């Protein structure tokens, strides 16, 4: 069973149990069971009835991932969607620590962080950063790997529209060519193992475009690491 770091007692954000950690162990055990996921886009994969072998990822067949690997801790469903909303829009630092701890203990996350040279958070647009006051991906990255996190390596231009109801094609257009590696950090990226951190991955449009910018700067290996992965095939993030 996953044990959370020691902290002052609080309400569990899921079951409201008191006293508790921000995410109590029973809720984590109930709602964060590992599942078989595609190694390059992190969608949950089904099992074939007769052979028991993992089914091929239809998403990657249609939209090949530019990532070398992709890891998600949980699916973007109840109760994690609500937890992420509270984290993003209420800026709860105790929840940030708990969610990062949950990520770190998901399968394949620890090896990815151990082998990484750089941990790079997905940047927000300047407008979104002003609105929110913090970058949720940066907060997660700082808890995951504080000494490897580089907040200013990957940059993002523009003030693109909210993508909640956008189609996959619209999302691709919104993020086309908006990411770049800061010139002063290109030499630090070249040939390195990079972990690219975000809170939610849906279509993959943003994290894929960001990975292409890192690849253009010479990154040798890129792992996408997200807290939650939307499971709908026609997703909207």
| Res 4 pLDDT > 50 | no
Contact (CB, 8 A) for 72 and 37: yes
Contacts of 11 (CB under 8 A, 6+ apart): 17, 18, 20, 22
pTM: 0.86
What is residue 195's three-state secondary structure?
A: strand
Tens-digit pLDDT profile for residues 75-92? 999 999 999 999 988 877
Could you give the C-alpha distances from 14 to 6, 21, 64, in angstroms and in order?
Answer: 18, 10, 35
Query: What's the token pair of residue 39?
Result: 């190694």
pLDDT tier at 6 (50, 70, 90 boundaries)? very low
**Domains of the chain as residue ranges with CATH:** 33-229 (3.40.50)
pLDDT in tens, 32-43: 999 999 999 999
137-170: pLDDT as tens digits: 999 999 999 999 999 999 998 765 555 555 555 5
Residue 108 CB coordination number (10 Å): 17
DSSP 70-136: EEEEEES-TTHHHHHHHHHHH--HHHHHHHHHHHHTSTTHHHHHHH-SEEEEPPPPHHHHHHHSS-H
The pLDDT tens digits of the residues spanning 170-197 come to: 555 666 789 999 999 999 999 999 999 9
Token digits of residue 89:
């829009």
Per-residue pLDDT at 78:
95
State the pLDDT confidence band at 49, using cuts at 50, 70 and 90. very low
The per-residue pLDDT for 52 is: 47
**C-alpha of 129 from chain center:** 17
Q: Which SS3 state, helix, strand or coil, does residue 193 take?
A: strand
Q: Render 11-23 in DSSP notation, one character per residue.
A: --TTT--SSB-SS
Q: Which two tokens stand for residue 5?
A: 């770091």
């Amino acid at each position: 069973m996953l044990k959370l770091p020691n902290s002052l007692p609080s309400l569990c954000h899921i079951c409201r149990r008191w006293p508790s950690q921000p995410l109590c162990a029973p809720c984590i055990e109930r709602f964060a069971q590992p599942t078989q996921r595609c190694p390059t886009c992190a969608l949950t994969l089904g099992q074939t009835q007769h052979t028991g072998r993992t089914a091929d990822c239809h998403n990657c067949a249609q939209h090949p991932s530019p990532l070398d690997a992709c890891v998600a801790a949980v699916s973007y469903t109840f109760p994690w969607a609500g937890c992420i909303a509270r984290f993003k829009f209420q800026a709860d630092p105790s929840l940030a620590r708990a969610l990062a701890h949950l990520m770190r203990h998901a399968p394949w996350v620890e090896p990815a962080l151990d082998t990484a040279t750089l941990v790079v958070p997905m940047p927000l647009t300047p407008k979104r950063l002003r609105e929110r006051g913090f970058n949720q991906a940066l907060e997660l990255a700082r808890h995951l790997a504080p000494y490897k996190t580089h907040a200013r390596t990957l940059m993002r231009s523009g003030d693109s529209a909210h993508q909640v109801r956008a189609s996959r094609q619209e999302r691709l257009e919104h993020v086309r060519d908006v990411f770049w590696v800061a010139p002063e950090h290109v030499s630090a990226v070249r040939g390195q193992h990079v972990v690219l951190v975000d809170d939610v991955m849906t279509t993959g449009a943003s994290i894929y475009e960001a990975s292409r910018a890192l690849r253009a700067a010479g990154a040798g290996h890129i792992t996408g690491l997200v807290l939650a992965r939307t499971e709908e095939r026609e997703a909207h993030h």
